Amino acid sequence: MRVLVVEDEQALREQLDADLKAQGFAVDVAADGEEGLYFGREYAYDVAIVDLGLPKMDGMELISTLRAEERKFPVLVLTARSHWEDKVLGLEAGADDYLTKPFQAEELLARINALVRRAAGYAAPVLRQGELSVDTAKKEVRVSDVLIELTAYEYKVLEYLILNPDRVVSKTELTDHLYEQDFDRDSNVIEVFVGRLRKKLTPINPIRTVRGQGYRLLRETPS
């Protein structure tokens, strides 16, 4: 999953960057609202974390602008403002949730995961497609209740596909959502991961190749 962090406080920005990367997220960081707007316009994100008190363009304006331009990824507001009016204004600007500073990293992660799931139409942390289940909280994958051992990036590919069922996902899109900006986009690493996933998920075969377009995870998982 790819996350945009827009936070002007350097120590917190660096901590968020490190914490999210440690959890397997690809992270872009911005130090002010204008830089955040640039990133939000240029890249497709799974979720954004936006501080309200930003220089150059405040968080409210940033969120409102992104929503006016049809950027629909979930937005979690970070705010040191405890008044309920400020929280309401953030939600009305287009945010999906808010978290008041100071906060625990575990709560932030739980809220991010919940936003990503809800955006994909899931309520519970365990995503199920036929005999396949992906526990996004524990980062566990099972086929017919049998635990499947995956590498971190194999899991990321599968998680992204199950969050986008029945939709063709290109290799470029997978690369954009799983890796940092400077990743080698000519690499065939996505093909390698998909090939490994197919072997490990046997006897089911949920991942289909759409020639010249990418991959699709079927809602039903036939043998």
% of the chain surpassing 70 pLDDT: 92
Burial of residue 10 (number of CB atoms within 10 Å: 0-12, 13-18, 19+): exposed
CATH code matching the domain that covers 126-217, chosen among 1.10.3230.20, 1.10.10.10, 1.20.120.1200, 1.20.120.420: 1.10.10.10
Q: Which CATH superfamily is domain 2-119 in?
A: Response regulator (3.40.50.2300)
pLDDT of residue 219 exceeding 80:
no
Which residues are bridge partners to 207 per DSSP? 217
Which of 56-60, 86-90, 173-177 has the highest mean predicted lDDT (pLDDT)? 56-60
Question: pLDDT tens digit string along 94-130?
Answer: 889 988 888 888 999 999 999 998 888 888 889 988 8
Q: Where are the domains of the chain?
A: 2-119, 126-217
Q: In what order do the strands lie in the sheet with 132-135?
A: 126-129, 132-135, 140-143, 146-148
Question: pLDDT tens digit string along 39-52?
Answer: 999 988 999 999 98
Q: CB of 59 within 8 A of CB of 8? A: no
Specify the DSSP element, H or E, that contains 73.
none
Question: pLDDT tens digit string along 140-173?
Answer: 999 998 999 999 889 999 999 999 877 899 988 8
% of the chain surpassing 90 pLDDT: 49
Note the residue count of the chain: 223
| Cα–Cα dist 31/6, whole Å | 6
